[in-house]
Chain A
Amino acid sequence: MTWYLSAYAVFWAVLFGYLMGVSNRQQKLVERAEHLTRRLSESATDAKGGSRS
């Protein structure tokens, strides 16, 4: 009985671990997109501010 339960437990644990990895990567992507958006808006306001004509 134990082996059968531990096999299922291991199956879920490994899948769950991988899912954690996937959502970590997701988080980093979101942060990167945020950062990029911020830089883009800064750069846009700079251009409007008129450092060059």
Chain B
Amino acid sequence: MRWWPRSWRQFWSTLDGRTYHMMLSARPWIGWLAVGSMVIVFALVFWWVPLEAIQGYPQKIFYIHVPSAWVMYAAFGVVFASSILYLWKRTSLWDIFARCAAEVGFLFTTLALATGMLWGKPIWGTFWTWDARLTSTLILWFIYGGYMLVRAFARPDAEVARLAAVVGIIGFLDVPIIHLSVLWWRTLHPQPVVMIIDDPGGGLPASMLITLLASLVAVSLVFAWLWIQRVWQERTAENLALLEALLERRERSAR
């Protein structure tokens, strides 16, 4: 497949194919890279990075909580971009990109919530407080969920992909506004305890910053790997269905 397209029109029309091609090339090794980097991060967290003075051990959850949240947003971004491209170009690959990103994104949203809650319990004493970030994450969980429910419950004649794309686009556009409103809400009614360490302005010591960055890379690789796997599976299922239908037709005409 030619890498440099002849024109803008060709660029956009072949973007799905070229992206899929790149994903296929990455598939054999990206899983190993992801696992390897996660092992390294674990080693860093368990043995290298120092204990934080105020929070102690629970603070180390930070190194999987923050990357999970980051991936959650990145995945939603992929859903957004793929949804727009689907509505524009109407190829099946864009729809596959979107729904697989939503699925894996939902997974990481759940992880972000779970790690956030398990971090909160030792720090705040309860599993849940209406802290701005946790609240926004919960709302995002529901938006992702709604997206997947629309796909699950769409009528066969309605074009599922189209409906889901629209929901994905509007959902993504709302996220910053939800963030802002929840943050204002919390500023007006401040919570007693605030998580000190993940304030970026607070200045993280170098070792913690390195560990965090390493973890960001590792978790992103895990996301990329899972996403690529699912996209490939969905595409293959689609191809198989096509072949089965062709076979069906051939057998029926041969009778």
Contacts and interface: CB of A to CB of B under 8 A. Distances in A.
Q: Do chains A and B touch in the complex (CB under 8 A)?
A: yes
Main secondary structure on B side of the interface with A = helix
A33 to B, nearest CB: 6
Nearest to B230: A22
Nearest to B229: A22
Contact of B243 (A25, A29, A36): A36
Interface residues of A, number: 26
Given A3-B121, A43-B251, A14 B107 contact: yes
B61 A7 contact: yes
B64 A7 contact: yes
Interface string A15-44: 100110010011001001100100110010
Contacts of A8: 42, 61, 64
B92 interface: no
A10 B115 CA distance: 8
Interface residues of B, number: 31
Contacts of A11: 64, 68, 111, 114-115
Main secondary structure on A side of the interface with B = helix
Contacts of A19: 226
A9 B68 CA distance: 15
A7 B222 CA distance: 18
B175 interface: no
Interface of B: 42, 57-58, 60-61, 64-65, 68, 107, 110-111, 114-115, 118-119, 121-122, 222, 226, 229-230, 233, 236-237, 240, 243-244, 247, 250-251, 254
